[in-house]
């Protein structure tokens, strides 16, 4: 199959390491051309989310391609060899298929059952297609992954009462404060994660909601939807004294909120012991880690959501087992399709040979055929093709069945020998 998946995720690497790769891999105009320039990378898709950075590729030479991908991740993430060995995972061939199907079905997500990952894979695939980085194998594999995800969501309750990283962030805030009723919140960023956070905050009874975004029109749109107030991105630090909760989820490449900014804001608060809860669900992180060292400030990042995640995972464990069974069926189906490709060259040659014979015989009898009416001549040609197709039907069926089931292909060898293919 020569398929490989190399990556790191929230389970294998902390956010401090993931964000080193995230910046580079999320820029598909740079990452994909860099990958495809290597002659051993025949197809590639690059997936970069807050919880995982993965490259799935079809290779030319397996060993050279794998070495290149490991070095690629190591170089772009500025990892040393020990970090590469410790934090990167590699799946090959059918194991890569299984991993992709599990990821698409959100079984491998930090918050199991969350719906965002499927959209993120679709976006990554679309960007790879737009840049001509996919071919027969990855096109088929990715579309199959979409079907698997749909089947898992429709045939299990894995996505019942769907939650998300944003939900986990709000649940964490709830654990800190006990109740969010009347608590004011500042959302930095106005993307999907911020929108979900706003929805969960309101559901928990949060009070004033401020939304800051680089594009103020988007902040205003979201503020209108959630009955909050839009804030200019440059001015959001001045609103820190007004809130109890800050949730940051921008796509900024570096820190947008620093310790001096938070310290200055807290000095302006009328209560000296005012507690500020900040959760940074962006990767790369939006909030400087030193913010967490300030008095009365509680800073969490996406890796700190584990308790909420574990509770969600326990609740969905039964459905996850059912989903794993469905995925195993689908992996077997994909493997069967891939194996059947081994028969394609022989089938093509068989058809080419019989077509050549048919055309030769029709040419040989062209004088006789020329005396027939056009309608009768068409009937003769149809009759010949029909007879040939019926003769070929069984051998081609045998070839497909045999190739889809195993490595031994005695019938294919026999057909090649008998028909001198």
Q: How many residues does the chain have?
A: 421
Question: Would you give the distance in Å from CA 388 to the centre of its chain?
Answer: 45
Nearest to 212 by CA among 223, 199, 201, 204: 223
* Cα distance between the two ends of the chain: 24
Q: Which residues are paired to 300 by β-bridges?
A: 279
Q: Which helix (H) or strand (E) holds 42?
A: strand 41-48
Q: Which of 25, 46, 50, 74 is catalytic?
A: 50
SS3 87: helix
Tokens linked to 209: 């909601």
Query: Is 50 tagged catalytic?
Result: yes
Report d(CA 205, CA 179) in Å as an integer.
Answer: 8
Nearest to 149 by CA among 174, 127, 119: 119
Q: In this structure, which long-range contacts are made by residues 13-19, counting pairs with CB atoms below 8 Å and at least 24 apart in sequence?
A: 13/87, 14/303, 15/283, 15/285, 15/301, 15/302, 15/303, 17/77, 17/79, 17/83, 17/87, 18/50, 18/51, 18/52, 18/53, 18/283, 19/283, 19/284, 19/285
**Omega before residue 160 within 30° of 0, cis:** no
Q: In what order do the strands lie in the sheet with 41-48?
A: 41-48, 52-59, 3-9, 89-92
Report d(CA 289, CA 249) in Å as an integer.
Answer: 15
Report d(CA 358, CA 63) in Å as an integer.
Answer: 45
Give the catalytic positions in this structure: 50
């Amino acid at each position: 199959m020569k398929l490989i998946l190399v990556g790191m995720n929230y389970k294998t690497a902390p956010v401090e390491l993931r964000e080193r790769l995230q910046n580079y891999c999320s820029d598909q105009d740079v990452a994909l051309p860099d990958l495809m320039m290597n002659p051993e990378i025949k197809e590639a898709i690059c997936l970069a989310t807050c919880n995982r950075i993965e490259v799935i590729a079809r290779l030319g030479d397996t060993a050279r391609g794998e070495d290149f991908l490991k070095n690629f991740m190591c170089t772009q993430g500025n990892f040393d060899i020990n970090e590469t060995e410790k934090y990167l995972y590699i799946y090959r061939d059918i194991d890569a298929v299984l991993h992709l199907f599990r990821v698409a079905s959100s079984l491998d997500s930090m918050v199991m059952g969350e719906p965002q990952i499927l959209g993120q894979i679709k976006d990554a695939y679309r960007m790879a297609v737009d840049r001509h980085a996919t071919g027969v194998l990855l096109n088929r594999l990715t579309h199959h992954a979409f079907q698997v995800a749909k089947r898992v969501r429709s045939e299990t309750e894995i996505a019942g009462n769907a939650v998300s990283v944003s939900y986990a962030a709000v649940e964490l805030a709830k654990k800190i404060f006990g109740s969010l009723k009347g608590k004011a919140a500042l959302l930095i960023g106005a993307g999907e994660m911020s929108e979900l956070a706003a929805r969960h905050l309101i559901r928990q009874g949060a009070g004033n909601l401020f939304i800051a975004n680089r594009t103020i029109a988007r902040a205003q749109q979201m503020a209108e939807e959630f009955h909050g107030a839009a804030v200019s991105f440059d001015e959001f630090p001045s609103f820190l004294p007004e809130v109890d909760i800050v949730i940051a989820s921008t796509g900024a490449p570096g820190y947008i909120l620093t310790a001096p900014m938070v310290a200055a804001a807290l000095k302006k608060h009328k209560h000296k012991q005012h507690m500020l809860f900040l959760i940074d669900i962006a990767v790369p992180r939006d909030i400087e880690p030193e913010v967490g060292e300030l008095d009365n400030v509680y800073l969490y990042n996406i890796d700190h959501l584990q308790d909420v995640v574990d509770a969600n995972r326990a609740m969905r464990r039964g459905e996850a087992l059912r989903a794993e069974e469905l995925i195993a069926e689908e992996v077997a189906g994909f493997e069967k399709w891939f194996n059947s490709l081994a028969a394609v060259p022989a089938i093509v040659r068989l058809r080419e040979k019989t077509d050549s014979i048919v055309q030769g015989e029709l040419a040989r009898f062209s004088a006789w055929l020329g005396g027939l009416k056009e309608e009768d001549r068409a009937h003769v040609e149809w009759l010949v093709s029909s007879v040939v197709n019926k003769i070929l039907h069984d051998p081609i069926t045998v070839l497909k069945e045999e190739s889809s089931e195993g490595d031994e292909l005695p019938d294919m060898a026999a057909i090649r020998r008998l028909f001198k293919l």
